[in-house]
Structure 1
Amino acid sequence: MSTPPTPPVPPSAGPRTDGTSVRIGALVPLTRPGWAEAGRHLLAGLELAVGEVNRDGGIAGTPLELVVRDTAADPRRAAAAVDELAGLGVAALAGEYHSVVARAVAARADALGVPFLCSSAVLDALTEQPTPWVARLAPAQSHGWRVYADFLLGAGHTRIAVAAQPSVYWASGAGILRDCLAPHGGSVVELDMRELTPAAVCDELVAHGATALLLLVGHPEPAVSIVKAVRGDKRLSEIMIGAPAGQPEFTEWAAQSGGHGAAIPFLRYLPERLSPLGARVERALRGRLGRAPSFVAFEGYDTGVVLADVLRSQGPDRARIAEAWPGVDVEGTRGRIRFSRVPDIGVRQWAWPPVQVADRDPADLDRFRTLHVG
């Protein structure tokens, strides 16, 4: 399937040439094959934060401006966008949802000396080597997926099957689960979705005696077809379907999966109860999106808040922004945000945002149930 043409960036988000704004380059997936709904939520959060900064006087009286570029989940396209944005003089880069794309952005940002605050991508190896230029709000995959493994063990699941497609992100996730489950006598069998149909997946689940199937695949396909096949197979009436990457968080999942998409536990990065700031932002984001915001929208807002705080104290100088990551201490929608060095993570990391395992309530698909808190 060919990728649809990229829609033009609205004039209000485009680069200005009069030198009267402080620019942030925003990288988000807005078209297929990227997860466009996640991109829209991420951008909504960024835009809300920037709008509030400007209503409060901007950066020392200078407006803060987003220069938006659509990555469409393409690492090469994202890297080219970093080069363009660096040439336009952005003070910093922000955003991205897809881990493999964020890794390409981080590599170019490091090479060019442009600060990058990664909003939502979780791959541990965001950079090949430690770098002072990159910081991250989202938890590392190893942290979040360990929480998910704890949930599986607590629910009595030790025979796990994963329906997987080739990807460094999916492979990393499967490895984390395997390492967490093995000491408890658990096992993980990988089902290669390059070779199996959804019906064949059902047969494999029966053959392996799996009690849980995790979807490490793209959305909507083959994820939706797998869910419908498993839910419709009477042999698998007791099996749990999970989606640790968070697909059921979004309304597209509920719309495309229908009732089959309920009771599928996934990771989300929200507290059990929002703070007053979080509740205010939730209402504002709901107004922008016309629906309940996902955790990705909160990540976008927190990204804007952190960058505004650093820009107020350091100005738009790129080197000073990067040097300021260790001193960040900002109240975000999901807790106090501070960055530190975490073993085996090459970027400045918020350790950690709140992590929970949740699902959609079968009795009300618009309601989420918290199943486990990390």
Structure 2
Amino acid sequence: MNYPVKWFSSHDAAGTAVAGAPALSGTAGSLIALIDACSAGYCAVTLSALTVSAGTATATVNTGHPYLDQQIIEISGAGAALDGQHRVTRVSATTFAWATAAADGTLSGAITAKVAGLGGWAKIYTAGNSAMYRSSSVLGRQFTYLIDDSAGTTAVLRGYRAATAIDAGASPFPGSDTVRIAKSSGGDVRWVVVADEHTIYVACGTSASISRMRLHMFGDLGRLALTDGYCSAVAGFGVASQDESFAVLHSARRLTDSVVTIGYPSGWSGESSIDAGAVVSDGVAVWTPGYGFGPPYPAPSGGALVIPLHAAHGGAPRGRCRGLYGLLHASGYPSAGLVDIGGVLAVLITGYVSDASSVKRAGALAIAISDWEAP
């Protein structure tokens, strides 16, 4: 079975670094290496044992494994009934399990597992510490996206309607302006990538020990109008140093903040365009309550209270941020890991944490790890 949406993380829910996961740092090229590793898959191990009983396959790795609960892994060498992609449903230090229709029994031979690669994206141009990526799916817009990771601490993010070479081609967006991915001031940082074959979210922490993250995105949005053939974007920061996510903004700033930028391949009238801080929700401030407002997580009804987020353009919603939700709680989030949003599991992306001594407090975002809406 293929799982279109996949998620990758440098740390588990307890804040422990995942052994063998790619590193993201202020070193030039580290973001390119991370995207490539997520595309191909990583952390391959050879199983010590594999058994099937009552609809559950359980793999054992005597020396330990790096896989996370609800992550997509890929099995090879076990035969047609068990090879392929699976969602991990239970983990311990040396075992992981998944649901299967395979017959009960014990498997032998050289059986391997790895974090399943994203797939669906082609790296079409590369030069030095820069690379350009394009979705392979004809069901989306198939614009091309540049990551220029030459500077080290930040990377430039730019889209092209049609690229002809590295950082060259027709109709770059956002034109002469710059959208940046805030990586690291030097050392390794936490990171999370959640993506499908149309849209990629990249969250970068402020350090390896702090769970607060900054979210960036490139790819297709969910169209509000079927006639909008340019409903795609790059989203990040307009300055090199910034700690807010593009979708975590106070309502008074969400359409005017020059620090956070979203670039579009076309404006409403067809021109390449950029909006600053342009993320809106369904009538509720995107900066999730903070300031002591909102119920604690989990909600009395169970799970998380969320709102879907939209990318705005010229003061009006342009498209839905696929799979991305704002959380409406003031406190009580886990520091990392997954949250339940109405029966759907989502990766938690925390911004600034509320505390009594700081007025600069942001809420949190959730990115669903099951299938997203069509682009």
TM normalised by structure 2 equals 0.30
The structure with the greater share of residues assigned to strand is 2
Q: TM-score, normalised by structure 1?
A: 0.30
More RCO (CA 8 Å, sep 6+): 1
